[in-house]
Amino acid sequence: MGVSKSPTTTSTTTQTNYSRKHGRDDGINGVSNTGATGGGGTPHKRRKKAVPGPDSDTPMVGGFPETPATVAEEPRVTNGCSVGVQVENTVEITAEDSVILGQEDKSILICAWNPTHPTVLATASQDSIARVWNVPIDATSSTVTQNKVILHDPSNSPKRDVTAIRWSPQGDLIATGSYDGQTRIWTADGLLRYTLPPHHGPVIALKWNKSADTLLSLSCDGKVIAWDALTGDMRQSFEQAIGDQGRGDQTKGGQAEAATDMDWISGRQFAICGNGGSVGIYDLDHDSSLNTNTSHSGEVNCLVWDECSERLASGGEGGDVLIWEKPSKILQPFKLQGHTEAVVSLCWQPIASSSSSPQPARRILASASNDCQVRLWDVLSKTCINILNSHDPVEKISFSPSGTRLASSANSKVTIWNAETGAITHVYDGLKGRRKNGKMITAGAEMDAGIGEISWDKSGARVAIGGGETKVHVLTPASPPAILSLQQQQQQLPK
């Protein structure tokens, strides 16, 4: 039986009033704090408005390097290809070629493969159910078996949606967050361990530290809570703050802002970014930030830590990607410029397990933007090494575990790229048959959902996507054998 825990500490900062930003009770990322009438709806980042790109001739501002990171001979890649780049045969993956899960569920936008068991996949839906599936490599839609069912709130409450899901690094625990603000910790076989006290808004992100003894939850209430995963107690509650070098003490000039993303940088320290343009470093032993930098020109949408290079990357509304070399100290980041609209997703390329070099010659970061581009950066040389162009604003990106392939989603389409050459190898259109000349010809509630999640299995052989047709599709993008010309590849792209 699960245990409901009460907080052991309280927040030291006041709750953020989101009307300061939106002029209405929208919460962050377009999600209401109070729930929707007649249905919850899964919180997800709304597509951002266009933001003018940075001027490369602008002199140093706020401690940035006078010469920003440059693009090495600015590769112009069209649909993943450019002159001199090897072009692979593009394979179109259809719904008939994929395994479809959750056909009995309401809209499923969230999915996550178990990090240690390559056949175990978790999904979460808007009908209050999170499921754990066994998906063998040879599974079909009719033979795949459902291992466990995790129930959240079987009532018809509009706040029952499961909005976040995250496996522990060891794969033996799974955390879920819901629209009612509650976080739950389960065992891998579906037993409820803890129901944690609720946030004052939907939970939109969950992050485990490496040892899985602490779980971070982020909500539309703008707060991050650190939970003791062994006892279910609340260790600390945090709000991102600006002013007074990041100390959140209002009497010292600190001003709270809404947290928008978070990531661990060690077993006890983590970073939080906010809608006021700040990035702060926090420790479990302190209730305020160790330091905060406000180098972003607007809201920060995403950030991700790289353990290999010990660098933190953040992306925001201004279109810039900032790299923090020593985020535990008060240092200025350097800027990677090139995107002309908001950066919405970041992903570090995994280091191949077969690599014998302790310090690779390059550290590749992928950034996705509303400008319809995915850019690949070598952070060590501060250059853009490839540009992958999409037909629509990019929503999600994810490297395969080996780092050889990159999956991106845009407008219910998933494109899989060769991470080295920038060539498209596979495409999947979740709404094929309902488009004509790129436009929708049928209406439906799922049309605005897009792709909620992209998740590679441990082996890198399969990728699960949530959304599109409101179900989870498991794709197996085998390596294409042939090499085609640029003209042939462009002819095979979906219209």
Q: What is the pLDDT of residues 238-273, one digit of tens each?
A: 987 654 343 333 323 456 788 999 999 999 999 999
The CA distance from 103 to 99, in Å, is: 11
The CA distance from 251 to 244, in Å, is: 10
When comparing pLDDT for 199 and 97, which is higher? 199
Rg (CA), the chain: 22
**Helix/strand/coil for 481:** coil
The CA distance from 334 to 313, in Å, is: 10
The CA distance from 182 to 199, in Å, is: 6
When comparing pLDDT for 456 and 481, which is higher? 456
The CA distance from 398 to 32, in Å, is: 28
Instruction: Give residue 469's pLDDT.
Output: 56
Residue 177: pLDDT band (50, 70, 90) is very high
Instruction: Give residue 329's pLDDT.
Output: 65
Give me the residue label for tokens 């003791």: 228
Instruction: Give residue 463's pLDDT.
Output: 94
Contacts of 84 (CB under 8 A, 6+ apart): none
Q: What is the pLDDT of residues 61-78, one digit of tens each?
A: 333 333 344 433 333 333
The amino acid that residue 442 corresponds to is: T
Give me the residue label for tokens 């899960």: 101
Q: How many other C-beta atoms can be found within 10 angstroms of the C-beta atom of residue 411?
A: 22
Prediction pTM value? 0.77
Q: Are 214 and 224 in contact (CB under 8 A)?
A: no
Q: Are 388 and 417 in contact (CB under 8 A)?
A: yes
Residue 35: pLDDT band (50, 70, 90) is very low
Q: Are 324 and 331 in contact (CB under 8 A)?
A: yes
Q: What is the pLDDT of residues 130-176, one digit of tens each?
A: 889 999 988 887 788 777 778 776 666 677 788 999 999 999 999 99
Q: Reply yes or no on whether the pLDDT at 344 is more than 50.
A: yes
Give the distance from CA 461 to its chain's centroid.
20
Class of domain 98-245+255-352+360-486: mainly beta
